[in-house]
Amino acid sequence: MLEAHELAAIRGERVVFAGLSFSLSPGEALLLTGANGAGKSTLLRLLAGLVPPAEGSLLWHGSDALADGPAHAARLRYLAHADALKPGLTLEENLAFWARLWGGGVGSALAAVGLEGLGHLPARMLSAGQKRRGALARLALTPVPLWLLDEPSVGLDAASITRFGTLLAAHREAGGMVVAATHVDLPLPGARALRLGGAA
Residue 112 lies in a domain: yes
Residue 30 lies in a domain: no
Residue 184 is predicted with a pLDDT of 85
Residue 199 is predicted with a pLDDT of 42
**Dihedral angle of Cα 22, 27, 32, 33, to the nearest 10 degrees:** -120
Q: What is the 3-state secondary structure (H, E, C) of 64-121?
A: ECCCCHHHHHHCEEEECCCCCCCCCCEHHHHHHHHHHHHCCCHHHHHHHCCCCCCCCC
Give the H/E segment covering residue 132: helix 128-136
Number of domains in the chain: 1
Domain hosting residue 114, numbered range: 84-141
Question: What burial class does residue 48 get, using C-beta atoms within 10 Å of its C-beta: 0-12 exposed, 13-18 middle, 19+ buried?
Answer: buried
Residue 41 lies in a domain: no
Per-10-residue mean pLDDT of the chain, 200 residues long, equals 96 91 98 92 96 96 95 96 94 97 96 95 96 96 97 94 96 98 92 78
Residue 91 lies in a domain: yes
Whole-angstrom distance, CA of residue 18 vs CA of residue 8: 4
Rounded to two decimals, the pTM is 0.94
β-strand pairing of 2-11 with 14-24 = antiparallel
Nearest residue to 141 (alpha-carbon basis) of 179, 88, 102: 102
Residue 153 lies in a domain: no
Residue 200 is predicted with a pLDDT of 35
Chain-centroid distance of CA 36 in Å reads 18
φ, ψ dihedrals at 112, nearest 5°: -65, -25
Residue 175 is predicted with a pLDDT of 97
Residue 52 lies in a domain: no
Residue 163 lies in a domain: no
**Dihedral angle of Cα 169, 44, 110, 75, to the nearest 10 degrees:** -80
Residue 56 lies in a domain: no
